[in-house]
Amino acid sequence: MPVRLNRQEKINSYLFKKYSPDFFTNLFAIPDIVHHLFWKYMDSSHPHYREKESRRYLPLIEDCYQTLDDIIGKRLKMIDEDTVVIIMSDHGGGPLHRFIQLNRWLEKCGLLALKNKHKGGSLSFARKLMKRLLHYAPQSAIDWSQPKAFAGRSSEHGIYCNLKGREKDGIVNPEDYEELRRTIIAQLSEITDPYTGQKIFEKIYRREDVYSGPYVSYAPDIVLGFGNNPYEPGDALSGGEIIENVKSDGFSGMHRPDGILIAYGNNVKKGSALHGAAICDLAPTILYAMGLKIPSDMDGKVLYDIFEPSFTDKHPAEYDKTAAGKAEPDEKELNYTGNDTEEIAKRLKSLGYI
């Protein structure tokens, strides 16, 4: 993995030196891979921790972070005195011990039903195969004429109500929506880990308590907050337990709400801690640092506490009264001119893509 990091940085450095852009960003995905797959080697309290394996792999993991540290050191030598460097993660990390299979739980509560569900008896090969397919394709396995609620994909951390007039096969009347949502939230709040007795969820939200803006209707009706608890939703549907241990060869680490944010450079405070920052604050803060106007409808706030008061006092944030615009542009806005196409092709060819 250090080899991959150094190869990536070689490309980054080349592009930075060649084009000297006003704004330059790049993503190192290795720390994310390390925390998802190798957490068990760094955490002696993890159910799949093995001391012998840890002694073998821990030096390799540390080498990845040392390589990143070296890359940052070299990058700082490349910048001038007017540059601001921001190092950030899109999330934090922590252990993953167990999955909660939400669709199984909904089925047990009578809120969801499967197609062609067979109980008892022996299964033919074809039926066994179908059962395995249902396990990994929950959306296609649901009998949509019956469910009052269903879980989204694991990464959504949410549950949808099968609302009439919104969902294709919705059966929940609008007047019953809030009561159904309250009932599901109340019952979810009582779920505990059968191995430890710990509550699974730190907090459960209505979607409007988490999201705002014109696209809230696309979000799950119920949003699940695990906080720092070592759980994650699963995608399985048929068979098995509601609470399942993670497999020894799968993910052993998962996301946490608090990531990292480090700033360095021109007009940045030295040696101070920052509190209350959110990921959506980065975009307006970067625009502010570059002296650019911030779209009036942009989420987040400027993190003034990053900068020296002598700078912020003289440079208030400027907002563009014209909104940033729709998330989905019209087709005519996507049309390229011949020169645009030629320039894009030239860039892709220089990078070795074509």
| pLDDT given at position 100 | 97
Q: Which two tokens stand for residue 28?
A: 């190192």
Model pLDDT for residues 155-200, shown as the tens digit of each residue: 999 999 999 999 989 999 999 999 999 999 999 999 999 999 999 9
Q: Where are the beta strands (DSSP E) in 37-154?
A: 84-88, 92-95, 98-101, 149-151
Helix (H, G, I), strand (E, B) or coil at 199: strand
Is 311 buried (19+), middle (13-18) or exposed (0-12) by CB count in 10 A?
A: middle
- What CA–CA distance (Å, rounded) separates 140 from 130? 12
Single-letter residue type at 196: T
Percent of the residues in the chain that have a pLDDT greater than 70, as a whole number: 87
For residue 4, the one-letter residue type is: R
Q: Is the pLDDT of residue 154 over 60?
A: yes
Beta strands in the chain (DSSP E): 84-88, 92-95, 98-101, 149-151, 158-161, 203-206, 222-225, 231-234, 243-245, 253-256, 261-265, 294-295, 319-320
Q: Is 123 exposed, middle or buried (0-12, 13-18, 19+ CB in 10 A)?
A: exposed
pLDDT at 227 over 50: yes
Checking if the pLDDT of 276 tops 70, the result is: yes
Structure tokens at 325: 């615009």
Residue 192 Rama label (left phi>0; alpha psi -120 to 50; beta): beta
β-strand partners of 98: 231, 245
pLDDT mean across residues, the chain: 89
154: nearest Cα among 169, 168, 171, 139: 139
**Residue 294 has which token pair?**
């911030």
Residue 27 CB contacts under 8 Å (≥ 6 apart), including other chains:
none
Strands 222-225 and 84-88: unpaired
pLDDT in tens, 327-341: 555 555 556 666 777
Dist CA 139 CA 122 (whole Å): 25
Confidence of residue 271 (pLDDT cuts 50, 70, 90): very high
Residue 343 has pLDDT above 60, yes or no: yes
Q: Given pLDDT bands bounded at 50, 70 and 90, which one contains residue 124?
A: very low
Give the per-residue pLDDT at 166: 94
**pLDDT: which is higher, 120 or 53:** 53
- What's the average model confidence in pLDDT over 41-51? 97
pLDDT at res. 344: 82
Name the more confident of 117 and 38: 38
Which pLDDT belongs to residue 352? 64
Burial class of residue 326 (count of CB atoms within 10 Å of its CB; 0-12, 13-18, 19+): exposed
